[in-house]
Structure 1
Amino acid sequence: MAQGERAAFVDYFGRLIALDDKKRIYKALWQRFSGPVRLLMENRYVFNPFWQHHNGIEGFEEWEDRLKASQRAFAQAFQGGDTARVLSFVFDRLYVLRNQIVHGGSTWNSGVNRTQVRDGAAILGFLMPVFVDLMMDNPGQDWGKPFYPVVA
């Protein structure tokens, strides 16, 4: 994910969190899904640089160092209660998992990646309705220019 996209996601997550008076996102990450989120962060198979290296793309030979650095940065964000940053890490990993499902690697009824798929589905199944509720409850909020606007 490009740095500009990452910054846009962190900004979006920050807006959601600022509007989340009931702390549903925070509670989900620190209480309901803390174990699955930590497992996602430890799993090399949902870490994009691992796949870049695996597919022979130059510049990713040190993917293991990058994974460790990412895990340290995640741990700092998690321990510091930085919900927007934690969400950014989680959604990076979920995006890789999404790519595995859509483009191969994780398939229906296989034994591959079942834990990540179940955990990812549970995390998204809880958080996405919360995100939508927060957006719908705050129609005056500037959510930025939509990438997929209504086209007639």
Structure 2
Amino acid sequence: MTYTFAALKDQHRLVRAQQQESLSLRIHRSLSWLGKAEDSNDEDSRFIFLWIAFNAAYAQKHQERTFFTERDRYGAFISKLVDLDKDDLLADLVWSEFSNTIRIILNNEFIFPDFWRYQSGEISNQEWQLARHNATAAAHAALGQSDTATVLAITLSRLYILRNQIMHGGATYNSQTNRKQLKDCTQLLGKLVPRIIAIMMNSNHTLWGEAAYPVVKD
């Protein structure tokens, strides 16, 4: 199967009548943003639209925010997807197609949270270097154990920093200072999101929880 907006949209039309309403809504929303990302001509816009598509897939109703952080939620979501991924779509992405890119992302200090805490004076250089060492060790352990879920969760935590930089005005549009990490992260997310949608469509009997902002009917 081709993992594009058009192919996934066609598949969704065939199966949505048999899907749980909350699952169908998540997929419908995620596909709409994936389509917008594919139509975008610049990396900044594509990354933003792809992250919204990812968010639309995993987000649940707001009261759950009391108990879990954002990273907790998408970490649990990725773990569930890996368990449901009978065709190894995510494993192939991590260990074949994007293995080098993921290692580059994990080693990029500019999308590591404690680097920016050090830059703002919240922690010392020694604390930042220790945090980096521990994070690198955790990532390498997951890589060494071929732990797809953990590698993806750690990688997404790096993408989340880039997401915050852009969405909170901490980056300039089309800036040359963040081009490399933006390009790498956008390419990965562009292949990850369609596969997430495909796995969800093939897992109708799994409990996904209520979608955030359900449609209100008069």
In which range does the TM-score fall when normalised by the shorter chain?
0.7 to 0.9
Match of 1:42 in 2: 107
Residue 97 of structure 2: which of 8, 20, 32 is its match? Answer: 32
Alignment partners' CA distance in 2, 1:149 and 1:64:
43
Q: Distance in 1 between matches of 2:181 and 2:174?
A: 14
Partner of 1:108: 173
Once the 2 structures are TM-superposed, how far is the Cα of residue 5 of structure 1 from its aligned partner?
4.4
Aligned to 1:23: 88
Aligned mates of 1:60, 1:149 — CA distance in 2: 45
Question: Percent identity between the aligned chains?
Answer: 35
CA distance in 1, matches of 2:69, 2:185: 24
Q: Which residue of 2 aligns with 1:81?
A: 146
- RMSD in angstroms over aligned alpha carbons? 2.3
Counterpart for residue 28 of structure 2: none
Deviation string for 1:27-48 (max 9, x for gaps)?
A: 1111111111111111111001
Which residue number in structure 1 is paired with residue 207 of structure 2?
142
Question: Unaligned 5+ residue runs, structure 2?
Answer: 1-66
- 1:117 is matched with 182
Distance of 1:87 and 1:150 partners within structure 2: 30
Q: Tell me how far 1:12 sits from its aligned partner.
A: 1.3
Map Cα deviations across residues 77-115 of structure 1 (whole Å, 9 max, x no partner). Answer: 011011111111011000001112223443333211111
Distance 2:201 2:172 in 1: 34
Q: Residues of 2 paired with 1:86 and 1:50: CA distance?
A: 20
Q: Structure 1 segments of 4 or more deviating over 4 A?
A: 2-5, 58-61
TM-score, normalised by the number of residues in structure 2: 0.62
After TM superposition, the score normalised by the length of structure 1 is 0.87
Aligned residue in 2 for 1:51: 116
Please, which moves more after superposition, 30-39 or 48-57? 48-57
1:65 aligns to 2:163 (yes or no): no
Counterpart Cα distance in 1 of 2:179 and 2:165? 12
Bigger Cα displacement from structure 2, 75-84 vs 14-23 = 14-23
Please give the alpha-carbon distance, in whole angstroms, between the structure 1 residues aligned to 2:197 and 2:134: 32
Q: Does 1:96 align with 2:154?
A: no
Q: Aligned pair count?
A: 151
Q: Which has the larger radius of gyration?
A: 2
Residue 143 of structure 1: CA displacement? 1.4
